[in-house]
Amino acid sequence: MRKSLGGAVGTFLALSTILGSGMMILPGTSYQQLGRSAWLAWAVAAVSVIPLLYCYAWLGRRHPSASGVARYGEVAFGATTGRSAGLLATLALVAGIPATAITGGRYVAQFSGVPSLAWVFPVAVLAVATVIGCRGADVSGRVQVVLVLALFTLVTCTALAALGVHGVRAPSAAVPAPGELGGVLTAVYVAFTGWETVAFTFEEHKRPDVIPRVFAASYVIVVALYGLVLLGLFSAVDPTDKALDRAPLLLLAERSLGDLGRPVTLALVVAAIAANVCASVLALSRLVFGMARSGYLPGTLNRVRDRDGNPVTAVVAVGAVLTVIAFLGAAGIMSFQSLFVLSGGIYFVLYGLGAAAYTKLAGQGPPRVVAVLCAVTVVAVTVLAGPPLWMCWALFAVVLLVTAAVTRLRARRAHGAEESAG
């Protein structure tokens, strides 16, 4: 694929992928459950995810491929694991992207008072994302820059206005009960997923050596934005407010900006959802292209446009499938909450797979320390998350077993065909 992405645009693509629907809900739900001690869950998640991000940055720099974690799994553990990881990543994105678009549609419908936007918005934003993806990674990257800058400006100004109007209320040092903290921590981890999706665009980076800087810069910005939102909520909103689990950003904006709160929140939601969907559609199309190139998906999805190396066939196929799922979810035919649970759980499984690949490929010495830290994080979150995440690990095991069985069957048939021909 054509190398068209620089470090700055790559950072904005990363931010677009990470700052999605979780930003609109999770700060409010965590504050509602833990009060001003909610920062503890966010701090633990932010710190413990660093080793996992280091693994993906290391792998992306050395193995920049459109297949991302599928490529890492293949290099480290063989074709069966690589194919299984790619199929699982495809499922996660196919579930997560429509769920994000539907969330935006529900927000827009509520804020505008136009109920039909609950399904019109997700379909429209996916159609626009598909058109932008057909233009290429460089065009999509420029769109991400505009949307993320708008999002960053709106969130920063809203949070600072809240602190200016209501004053700063310091976070609480009280430590919640382990059960309460663990439940919130598991949910908060969703806010720190997305970097594994960014890896699907690494093949188009002009300089893979800047990938660790892309991860570092986007991580710092994400943590700063979440911190600002939490401080703003601590300052302007009571933790017993029942609307915190539905529209925390609207509460924050209305308490800080008055009549401007609703239109500002609407603009913020549109910018966040549009940026996330555009970046995710681009990433998924690259994954599908990479899987087709490796022979794991139909070969027609491997076609690229001569003038810019853009896999347009994969982009159109991805956009069509996602639009159908978004329409079904918005219409209530499919459960969009289930899409979120499935997507979030698989993302974490992919983090674990990336860490395992890094452990295998990085060798002895200091990398082993990173591997141990990753193992502690993965095991702890898996235990705390309970059955939903356990089911995602079980799903990976099933996919791995089925893929291995199909691979062996094909090998036997090929061997039989060779003996017959001989």
User: Tens digit of pLDDT for each residue in 264-299?
Assistant: 888 888 888 999 899 999 999 999 999 998 888 888
Kindly state the tokens that stand for 221.
């910005």
Binning the chain into helix, strand and coil, the percentages to the nearest 5 are 85, 0, 15
pLDDT at position 422 is 60
- Helix extents (H) in 294-386: 312-330, 336-362, 366-385
Q: Distance of alpha carbon 78 from its chain centroid, rounded? A: 25
Sequence-separated (6 or more) residues with CB below 8 Å from residue 272: 19, 20, 21, 23, 24, 104, 151
- CB count, 10 Å around CB of 180? 14
pLDDT by 10-residue block (mean), the chain, 422 residues: 83 87 83 92 90 92 90 92 91 87 85 85 93 89 89 90 91 84 81 86 89 93 93 92 83 88 88 90 92 87 84 93 87 71 82 91 84 88 81 91 88 74 64
Helices 7-18 and 211-236 sit at what angle, rounded to 10 degrees? 40
The string of pLDDT tens digits covering residues 55-108 is: 999 999 999 988 899 999 999 999 899 999 999 999 888 888 888 888 888 888
pLDDT at position 348 is 85
What is the value of pTM for the model shown? 0.87
> In angstroms, what CA-CA distances link 95 with 110, 198, 335?
23, 17, 10
Sequence-separated (6 or more) residues with CB below 8 Å from residue 169: 36, 231, 234, 235
- Residue 387: its H or E element: helix 387-421
Judge: domain 7-409, CATH 1.20.1740.10: yes
The string of pLDDT tens digits covering residues 10-35 is: 898 889 888 876 788 889 989 999 99
Between CA 150 and CA 116 the distance in angstroms is 26
- Helix extents (H) in 113-136: 117-135
pLDDT at position 288 is 93
pLDDT at position 337 is 64
Helices 69-77 and 261-293 sit at what angle, rounded to 10 degrees? 40
Between CA 19 and CA 201 the distance in angstroms is 17
148 contacts 15 by C-beta, under 8 angstroms: yes
pLDDT at position 132 is 93
Between CA 311 and CA 220 the distance in angstroms is 32
pLDDT at position 226 is 93
> In angstroms, what CA-CA distances link 412 with 81, 280, 407?
19, 38, 9
Ramachandran region, residue 403 (left: φ > 0; alpha: ψ -120 to 50; beta: rest): alpha
